[in-house]
């Protein structure tokens, strides 16, 4: 069953494609104290859940039953990033479990347009993710089918990696295509987002920032969220 808390079913009504959103990644949280770790980020705009199956990526994290339970404690809308095989089957299940946005990898989906339309019909945002080596150009012809494009700025599957600077032109091309089409599609960057990199990502066109280690390794996670938000806002355009 979907989460019934107000924070789960009534996401903030953001207007404008370049509104800055900070989404802490739960991948770097203390898995021995999951509910407490969610409480540490109650100033987040979204909560980013990395779902890994040990097949599409080498690592394994949480699955559907744990995700559904965590929705009860999430202080902000839930962004489920599926790094799994067969997302065509599983993505709608995560929507049913309480996700407000479900992002699947273009490399794993057999029918990405059909899947995105199914998710939207369920009332959730549909995002598509691309590994660093996956060209974005084929997706740019399909922008109106998605609510968000996730450009991986590290190789998916592990936390704490360094930001891949070569992804900045890819992000810029994505943002330019969205602007040219007159669409309100979000651009998300996931991997290596920190005080040192968030400005460059914002300048390139990111408006949804996934930050894991930078937030959860800070003494005050909420303070770090606000610092990152302010840094991104200085460079957003």
Active site residue 50: yes
**Buried-state track 176-211, b at ≥16 Cβ within 10 A, e below 16:** ebbeeeeeebbbbbbbbbbeebbbebbbbbbbbbbb
Annotated catalytic residue, options 79, 141, 190, 220: 190
Active site residue 141: no
Query: How do the domains of the chain map onto residue ranges?
Result: 22-235
Classify residue 118 by its DSSP letter: H
Q: For residue 117, what pLDDT is reported?
A: 98
**Tens place of pLDDT per residue across the chain (237 aa):** 344 333 343 443 433 437 999 999 988 888 888 889 999 999 999 999 999 999 999 998 999 999 999 999 999 999 999 999 999 999 999 999 999 999 999 999 999 999 999 999 999 999 999 999 999 999 999 999 999 999 999 998 776 679 999 999 999 999 999 999 999 999 999 999 999 999 999 999 999 999 999 999 999 999 999 999 999 999 997
Superfamily of domain 22-235: Aldolase class I (3.20.20.70)
What are the distances in angstroms from CA 195 to CA 150, 206, 211, 220, 227?
20, 14, 10, 14, 8
Give the span between the Cα atoms of 159 and 55, in whole angstroms: 17
pTM to 2 decimal places: 0.90
Q: Which of 149, 210, 228 is nearest to 184 (CA)?
A: 149
Give the span between the Cα atoms of 203 and 207, in whole angstroms: 9
Annotated catalytic residue, options 50, 79, 100, 147: 50
């Amino acid at each position: 069953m979907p989460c019934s808390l107000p924070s789960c079913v009534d996401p903030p009504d953001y207007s404008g494609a370049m509104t800055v959103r900070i989404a802490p990644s739960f991948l770097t949280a203390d898995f021995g104290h999951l509910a407490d770790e969610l409480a540490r980020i109650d100033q987040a705009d979204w909560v980013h859940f990395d779902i890994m199956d040990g097949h599409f990526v080498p690592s394994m994290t949480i699955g559907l039953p744990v995700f559904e339970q965590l929705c009860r404690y999430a202080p902000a809308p839930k962004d489920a990033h599926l790094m799994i095989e067969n997302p065509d089957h599983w993505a709608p299940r995560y929507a049913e479990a309480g996700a407000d946005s479900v992002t699947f990898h273009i490399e794993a989906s057999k029918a990405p347009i059909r899947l995105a339309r199914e998710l939207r019909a369920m009332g959730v945002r549909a995002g598509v993710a691309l590994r660093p080596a996956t060209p974005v150009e084929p997706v740019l012809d399909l922008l109106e089918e998605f609510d968000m494009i996730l450009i991986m700025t590290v190789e998916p599957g592990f936390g704490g990696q360094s930001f891949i600077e070569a992804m900045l032109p890819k992000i810029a091309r994505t943002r330019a295509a969205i602007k040219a089409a007159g669409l309100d599609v979000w651009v998300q960057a996931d991997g290596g987002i920190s005080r040192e990199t968030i400005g460059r990502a914002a300048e390139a066109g990111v408006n949804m920032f996934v930050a894991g280690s930078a937030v959860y390794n800070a003494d005050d996670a909420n303070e770090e969220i606000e610092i990152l938000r302010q840094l991104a806002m200085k460079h957003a355009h």
